[in-house]
Amino acid sequence: MNPLREDRQRSWDAASKEMSGCLRCHLSRSRNHVVIYRGSPTPKLLFLGEAPGAEEDRLGVPFVGRAGKTLSAAIARLGLTEDEYGITNVIMCRPEANVFDRKAATACTDWLRLKLHLLDPRFVVTLGDNALHALLPEVGRVTEVAGSLLSWEQRPLVPLLHPAATFRRKAYAERWQSDLSRLADWLGKSGRPWSS
Ligand code: URA
């Protein structure tokens, strides 16, 4: 491993240890696990979701429940290899009744910044309104901008609907597929954007 990577891995391990014991908000009282991250230690593309659900809280791993299956199918369709991507959430502890919790999101902001800094992805895909607005608070609703190419800190960012939205309405399931096709084009037509 090169020294820079080694240094970053050490910083990640130290940060993960701190995050696992986080007591910064009320969700620390009800959670089973702090759900930090899964994926490559050096992801080129980072998926950012909203908050863990019951299955994620039980296992301590993001997107392993029903929405996770939809996300996995999307990842397969995009042809991403294991070393190319990672998955995290804005909030790392399960909110009660699975309702996105703004207080918890505020308490998790510094952790999110730290994760983004240490993982340093070349490309970001946000999942749902709350993930999009955690990075780009000034843009419109996700339904207005999903599938378009935006930018966050000099990197391309593509917002998608939340995968769970596809269970709620047929129109969202169709939109998910068409936005995914556009994302696949950006990621595939002239080689991976991070290879150039
Ligand atoms: N929904 C999310 O936003 N994140 C998860 O980890 C699971 C479901």
| Span 97-152, pLDDT tens digits | 999 999 999 999 999 999 999 999 999 999 999 999 999 999 999 999 999 999 99
Angstrom distance (rounded) from CA 161 to CA 142: 6
Q: Which of 38, 56, 75 to mutate to test the pocket of ligand 1 (most atoms within 8 A of CB)?
A: 56
Q: 154-176 pLDDT, tens per residue?
A: 999 999 999 999 999 999 999 99
| 188 CA to centre of ligand 1 in angstroms | 26
Q: Does residue 47 belong to any structural domain of this protein?
A: yes
Q: Which two tokens stand for residue 83?
A: 């070393």
Q: 52-109 pLDDT, tens per residue?
A: 999 999 999 999 999 999 999 999 999 999 999 999 999 999 999 999 999 999 999 9
Q: Does residue 193 belong to any structural domain of this protein?
A: no
Assess whether the C-beta atom of 85 lies below 6 angstroms from ligand 1. no
Torsion-angle region of residue 96: left (phi > 0), alpha (psi -120 to 50) or beta?
A: beta
For residue 124, the enclosing domain spans 3-187
| 182 CA to centre of ligand 1 in angstroms | 22
Q: Does residue 41 belong to any structural domain of this protein?
A: yes
Q: 8-59 pLDDT, tens per residue?
A: 999 999 999 999 999 999 999 999 999 999 999 999 999 999 999 999 999 9
Q: Does residue 150 belong to any structural domain of this protein?
A: yes
Contacts of 139 (CB under 8 A, 6+ apart): 132, 133, 145, 150, 159
Per the CB < 8 A criterion, the answer to whether 124 and 155 are in contact is yes
| 116 CA to centre of ligand 1 in angstroms | 17
Burial class (CB in 10 A: 0-12, 13-18, 19+), 24: middle
Count of C-beta atoms within a 10 Å radius of residue 97? 6
Q: Which of 27, 89, 100 to mutate to test the pocket of ligand 1 (most atoms within 8 A of CB)?
A: 89
Q: Does residue 192 belong to any structural domain of this protein?
A: no
| 65 CA to centre of ligand 1 in angstroms | 8
- What b/e sequence results for 56-74 when a residue is b if at least 16 CB atoms lie within 10 Å of its CB, and e otherwise? bbeebbbbbbebbebbeeb
Q: Does residue 194 belong to any structural domain of this protein?
A: no
Angstrom distance (rounded) from CA 83 to CA 45: 10
* pLDDT at residue 153 in the model: 97
Q: Does residue 147 belong to any structural domain of this protein?
A: yes
SS3 labels along 42-81: CCCEEEEECCCCHHHHHHCCCCCCHHHHHHHHHHHHHCCC
Count of C-beta atoms within a 10 Å radius of residue 178? 11
**How many domains does one find in the chain?**
1
Q: Does residue 195 belong to any structural domain of this protein?
A: no
> Residue 47 maps to which CATH number?
3.40.470.10
